[in-house]
Amino acid sequence: MAELNLVLLGPPGSGKGTQGERLNEDLRLPYYATGDILRAAVRDKTELGRTAKGYMDAGDLVPDEVIVGVIVEALDSDAARDGFILDGFPRTTPQAEALDAKLDELGRRVTAVLLIDVTDDEVVRRIGGRRTCAENGHVFHVDFNPPKREGACDIDGSELITRDDDNPATIRNRLNQYHEKTEPLVDYYDQRSVLRRIDGEKDPDEVAEEIRRTLATMRLEQDEAV
């Protein structure tokens, strides 16, 4: 496989960030979270970064064409020559079409889209179970990493709170946004035969192993097709 250009897709709380970091370690490919790319472009004062900053300073949404430009600027680099791992973009079908068009201009394409599949109820359980230390931000979870004493941080003893972002109603709203705007990408990439479904409800180590097997199978299929 000449290069491995991966997009991580899935609802909030599906574990994309965790698996993206593992893929970064396993494959030695750069891992790009959309927000990080945008902030780096603004910090480095690239032409597109200055354009994006103008919208952000005005409190406006950064247009798709600017976001795509910033992302492709990062992907068209020596660091990403052998491939990349993209998390958080595209979020909509028009963004996916724009990304494909820009990559095509570079003679590249998305190799695989890894859909980390998790039900809404599991997302609410994962995110809604977080408890954050009010004093220093230490994070616990009522199921996966409960504090020794309920309601109190193990490290500094301060109160554990539920952040607004972790409120079940807020989570459901984020999920509704995902289903409305991002989930259509499942069909978009499936029609292009690059979608690979991963069971995201397993233990993170098992999810990582399933991704490794999926990528190995892709390499084998490509070698056989040559």
Options 22, 108, 126, 130, the catalytic residue: 130
> Angle CA(156)–CA(161)–CA(165) in degrees, nearest 5?
130
Options 39, 53, 91, 197, the catalytic residue: 91
Residue 206's CB: how many other CB atoms inside 10 A?
Answer: 12
Q: Are 175 and 128 in contact (CB under 8 A)?
A: no
Please say if 102 is a catalytic residue.
Answer: no
Please say if 174 is a catalytic residue.
Answer: yes
Residue 110's CB: how many other CB atoms inside 10 A?
Answer: 18
Please say if 28 is a catalytic residue.
Answer: no
Q: Are 9 and 93 in contact (CB under 8 A)?
A: no
Q: What is the spatial distance between Cα 97 and Cα 176, in angstroms, rounded to a whole number?
A: 22
Options 174, 197, 202, 212, the catalytic residue: 174
Q: What is the spatial distance between Cα 48 and Cα 54, in angstroms, rounded to a whole number?
A: 10
Please say if 91 is a catalytic residue.
Answer: yes
Options 16, 22, 125, 126, the catalytic residue: 16
Options 163, 172, 197, 202, the catalytic residue: 163
- Residue by residue, DSSP assigns 42-83 as HHHT-HHHHHHHHHHHTTPPPPHHHHHHHHHHHHSSGGGTTE
What phi and psi values does residue 192 have, to the nearest 5 degrees?
-95, 10
Please say if 81 is a catalytic residue.
Answer: no
**Positions marked active-site:** 16, 91, 130, 163, 174
